[in-house]
Copies of this chain bind each other. A is one copy, B any other.
Amino acid sequence: MTEQLIHPWQERIRAQIAQERGATVTLLQEWVRERSVQGEERSIQEKIAAHLTAMGLEVDMWVMGGEELLNHPYFVSPRDDFAQSPNVVGIWKGTGGGRSMILNGHVDVVPAGDEKQWEASPFSGAVIDGKLYGRGATDMKGGNMAAMLAIETLQALGVRLKGDVIFQSVVEEESGGAGTLSTILRGYRADAAIVPEPTNLKIFPKQQGSMWFRLRVKGRSAHGGTRYEGVSAIEKSMIVVKAIGELEKRRNERITDPLYEKLPIPIPINIGVIEGGKWPSSVADLVTLEGRMGVAPGEEMESAKAEMETALLQLAEQDPWFAEQPVELEWYGARWVPGEVSEEHPLMELLTDAYRTVCGTDPIIEASPWGTDGGLLTKLADTPAIVFGPGVTQVAHYPNEYIELEAIFQCAEILALTLIEWCGLSEEGEQ
């Protein structure tokens, strides 16, 4: 049996949030209607900055760039001009003496994809049966809203916290975290962070990292009618796909962390794109495979890379073709650093308690099957980051993405309680 916890602020917080439901939904609709795909985030960021200013926060909005960022080993982005993609940070200053907290979320959304697969417009913000629809609703404007609502609720109740609360509205998460990297280079860090990505209110102290790779599998061309005179890169790529599957298996057999118990494949290697050959009646001389390699929370990305390289080199042992024409491996595109916060970290306990207070049950504690900007915060900014937010990943990146509004309000309630406990109530805030 889970003991229902009671917190002296809970009732007031819940009542205050209930009062703001209508306004919150309207604001989230506005955010979702902002088509903040990569390179088009300025408009929503200006609105958020104005909102944070109205809340009385110290607001910092900047366009990232410069050598330090662009040459940083953790910088990945397909672009180097962010003029239309400012970052926004709002600081709710504490009265002093408390622990600080970063609430980090991204406003960039992935493209809508095939609009015909959407029942309504991808940026409609339509609310149907308690769900708000639109690209980015779950990933992760709903989470950002929960974080902002937590702060606003405490403010409305006259709470003052000892520690700073640093609300970060970043860009580029979907491309590997350059926005959060820029906040770190700008000096932002805290005693802990919560990243309200859609965990369905599960608590993820550990997060899988990932990185993208491209494989070039060679063949030798010939006419299809005499295909035996060539070497099919398509047939060879089947051997490569199989070898990658075996590598995935070996890597996952090593994962014994109970947090991964419920995941059939804790750190998958996904081959998502295949392309090769130019002509139906020619033997394909090149197949390109593109994929994503999961990286375990405690693992160095470089060692994961080396393991993949070794697996590809070993192909030569089973097929001499690969000795002659080794598979080319390229690490490209996006990359998310894995993150790991001890389950004994004090924020884990506070967040767990807040969850039990609000939901009356124990939270599910797992390791995330995907990376977030939390990895960068933990690894580079010495800011232990836990991922916890409303919404379900199953709908992220897909047509008809939505978020259950109730989850946002629950999350805000939990975050507000957590902030009180983590940052500490200032005496002037006690009522």
Measuring CB to CB, which residues of chain A are less than 8 angstroms from any residue of chain B? 208, 210, 212-214, 221-229, 232, 234-235, 237-238, 241-242, 245, 263-265, 268, 270-284, 287, 290-292, 294, 333-334, 368-371, 393-394, 396-398
Contact A292 B224 (CB under 8 A): yes
Residues of chain B with a CB closer than 8 A to A273's CB: 276-280, 284
Contact B272 A225 (CB under 8 A): no
Residues of chain B with a CB closer than 8 A to A212's CB: 280-281
| Extra A-B contacts (17), CB below 8 Å, given A225-B292, A234-B272 | A213-B280, A223-B369, A224-B270, A225-B368, A225-B369, A226-B263, A226-B369, A228-B265, A229-B394, A237-B274, A238-B242, A270-B281, A272-B277, A272-B283, A273-B280, A274-B274, A277-B290
Residues of chain B with a CB closer than 8 A to A228's CB: 264-265, 268
Sample 15 A-B pairs with CB under 8 A, ordered by A number: A213-B280, A223-B369, A223-B370, A223-B393, A224-B291, A224-B294, A225-B292, A234-B271, A235-B245, A271-B277, A273-B277, A273-B278, A273-B280, A274-B284, A280-B292
Residues of chain B with a CB closer than 8 A to A287's CB: 274
CA distance A271 to B230 in the complex (A): 12
CA distance A292 to B223 in the complex (A): 10
Residues of chain B with a CB closer than 8 A to A334's CB: 281
Kindly provide the distance from the CB of A94 to the nearest chain B CB, expressed in whole angstroms: 35
Residues of chain B with a CB closer than 8 A to A234's CB: 241, 271-272, 274
Contact B279 A272 (CB under 8 A): yes
Residues of chain B with a CB closer than 8 A to A275's CB: 274-276
Contact B225 A370 (CB under 8 A): yes
Kindly provide the distance from the CB of A355 to the nearest chain B CB, expressed in whole angstroms: 22
Residues of chain B with a CB closer than 8 A to A272's CB: 224, 234, 277-284
Contact A271 B221 (CB under 8 A): no
Cross-chain contact of A227 among B221, B268, B290, B398 (Cβ < 8 A): B268
Residues of chain B with a CB closer than 8 A to A208's CB: 225
Cross-chain contact of A276 among B274, B291, B371, B398 (Cβ < 8 A): B274
CA distance A260 to B393 in the complex (A): 57
Known A228-B264, A271-B232, A271-B234: A223·B397 in contact at CB below 8 Å: yes
Cross-chain contact of A270 among B227, B241, B278 (Cβ < 8 A): B227
CA distance A396 to B376 in the complex (A): 54
Give 4 nearest A-B pairs by CB, closest first. A224-B270, A225-B370, A281-B292, A273-B277
